Amino acid sequence: MATRTTIDGDPDDILCATDTTVSDTSEAAALDMPSRVLTGATRVERAWAHWRALGAPRFLVAPMVDNSELPFRMLCRKYGAEAAYTPMLHSRIFSENEKYRSMEFTTCKEDRPLFVQFCANDPKILLEAARRVAPHCDYIDINLGCPQRIARRGYYGAFLMENQPLIKSLVETLALNLDVPVSCKIRIFPNLDDTISYAKMLEEAGCSLLAVHGRTRDQKDSTKFKADWAALRAVKQALRIPVLANGNIRHMADVNSCLEETGCDGVLSAETLLENPALFAGYKTVEWREEGDEDGCLDQADLAVEYLRLCEKYPVPWRMVRSHVHKLLGDWFRIHPEVREELNKQSTLTFEWLYDMVRRLKELGVRVPLYGGRNAVVDKIVVNGAAS
């Protein structure tokens, strides 16, 4: 099977090659709207009504560049995820490049509730991109939390945190011109008061849902820096709209603890899901196995095969497929690194080759089970002081 083509050039270089000149924010938020100007109380009521109409999802797949694409979202949904974000999309490229749109954004009718996330620094361009996907999603999300070098170069994500007038204009422009609600994903400031002030500004600008990663922009390494759940609780208590928590989620016990300690309305998981897409169904990897946890009769090779079948149904660029295979089978490759090396040598991948690779791993006697399972899912999650 031939490889799929993608946008020419390195994705990071493409993202940064666009003009980063910021438009005049004073006129950007006044495009064609004031019919949607609402009082604060009405905005909050609508925010909650929309969230509840979607089922008030508590377990969400976080946005991950090249990793939260349609086949992976559908795999996570099968195993308990109740909503999901797309990978971050670059608003300017999405507006201008049809090939980028067709390759980087795909969905299906079962892929709901869905957040479509954009990075941006120009309200008009962001609105143009958002209008293209608004009929196919439940939120347009603005990436205000990416801490990576690429975001610094492109002037978006967490590197807009000091330019709150621009951020306010991005949110207002979407809130006043779209029927689909606007959400934002942020990181915290080192100072809690700054974080709360920032979150309140977003709510007042028209943000209908806020996801908060409990680490600062400089705390990029999740293995070194623990997410600050106390800060997440403070943000939740300060806002009137739904708030989602992100950080320190390794298994369902963490999900339960996070919801209880922060009072947030839902939890996002990113890195853990890449190794264990069945997290929200109560499965855990061997790293987090506790005494009494039994073999869940599911392993990462099973999940890899399920993922590949979904990729055949919902085609995505091969770079995404390769990345997921490495993450899903990382524990297995550590036992048989020669199989990983063979994978790395493949300049062109096919599904037949990948299925055969999984078969050969199993024939080598490798099996790293997942533990727990559906019966391990926490039955009662405490949300805002009430069990549900």
User: Any idea which residues carry the catalytic annotation?
Assistant: 146
6-40: b (≥16 Cβ within 10 Å) or e: beeeebeeebbebeeebbebeebbeeeeeeeeeee
Fill in the DSSP letter of residue 273.
H
The 8 Å CB, 24+ separation contacts for 124-127 are: 124/23, 124/28, 124/31, 124/173, 125/23, 125/91, 125/92, 125/95, 126/91, 126/170, 126/173, 126/174, 127/31, 127/173, 127/174, 127/177, 127/178
SS3 58: coil
State how far the alpha carbon of 107 is from the alpha carbons of 6, 25, 90, 317, in Å.
17, 32, 17, 14
Residue 221: HSE in the Cβ half-sphere, 13 Å Cα cutoff? 2
Alpha carbons 357 and 340: distance in angstroms, whole number: 9
Alpha carbons 320 and 67: distance in angstroms, whole number: 6
Alpha carbons 170 and 67: distance in angstroms, whole number: 25
Specify the amino acid at residue 91. Answer: S
Residues in the chain: 388
Fill in the DSSP letter of residue 202.
H
CB 357 within 8 A of CB 339: yes
For the chain, state the CA radius of gyration: 21
CB 112 within 8 A of CB 85: no
Specify the amino acid at residue 331. Answer: D
Q: Which two tokens stand for residue 289?
A: 């196995």
State how far the alpha carbon of 346 is from the alpha carbons of 3, 119, 342, 371, in Å.
11, 32, 7, 32
Alpha carbons 349 and 364: distance in angstroms, whole number: 22
